[in-house]
Amino acid sequence: MRKYLGYILTALISGTIGIAFIGIRMGYNFIGYTFLGIAAASIFFMLMKMLSKKHEKAARILNRIAVYAIILFAFALTVTIAMIASEADTGDNSGADYAIVLGAGVRGNTPSASLYARMKAALQYANENPETVLILSGGQGRGENVSEARCMYDWLKSRGVSEERLIMEDKSTSTRENLEFSRAIILEREPDFSGKICVVSEGYHLARGKLYARQAGFEKVTGAAGFNGYPVLTGNYYIREAFAMWYYLVFRK
């Protein structure tokens, strides 16, 4: 049994850490799933070691397939996260006609860490670009006493942003709808609009936000990134966003 002790300990430790992360109610699920994946891989390789005693060839083939699959997955995940991270460096994003602030969760009436980061980025952008109109985009979901748009509106207005510069879009339930519904509002105001927009969100979210903006029909797209102040939480979101990006690339939605 000692020969399997390393596998067993790895599975137990990784599984415990994974369950602990999933149990946290702050959105660390994808880090938890990563540790559970490590635990599952450890158990698999232990089983292959056991199998090799009677079926060495089959175990060797399965082992090799698993190793190649893990390497391919890790490579694809790393490349995708690197591409997403590159979009967080927004360069010169000044002078947008409209800044579309993408919503995030509200707990009752309190903004989540993600929403707070986006509101801070929106406030900074509004102060640095006094001619820009802000579209605050996000509906009302489960556990939210107000819409994400209303939460952002009240917060920004209380910090000196003129209500004439704040427009609420409170029907959207996804990033794609954030951009599509916001574009509809802009076209109601300016039917021939062809100006510049700035997508405001967190760094991990900007790559997909810009893709949806272009899909919605915007041609001049830039971004402004906020940070929620929690590096581990942000790491979780980057992992989650990689899967969301793969989904987008396959289904374009």
- Its pTM stands at 0.87
90 φ, ψ (degrees, to nearest 5) = -85, -10
**Residue 195 three-state SS:** coil
> For 145-189, what is each residue's pLDDT tens digit?
999 999 999 999 999 999 999 999 999 999 999 999 999 999 999
**Residue 161 three-state SS:** coil
- Look at residue 90 and tell me whether its pLDDT is greater than 80: no
What is the pLDDT at residue 171? 95
- Look at residue 26 and tell me whether its pLDDT is greater than 70: no
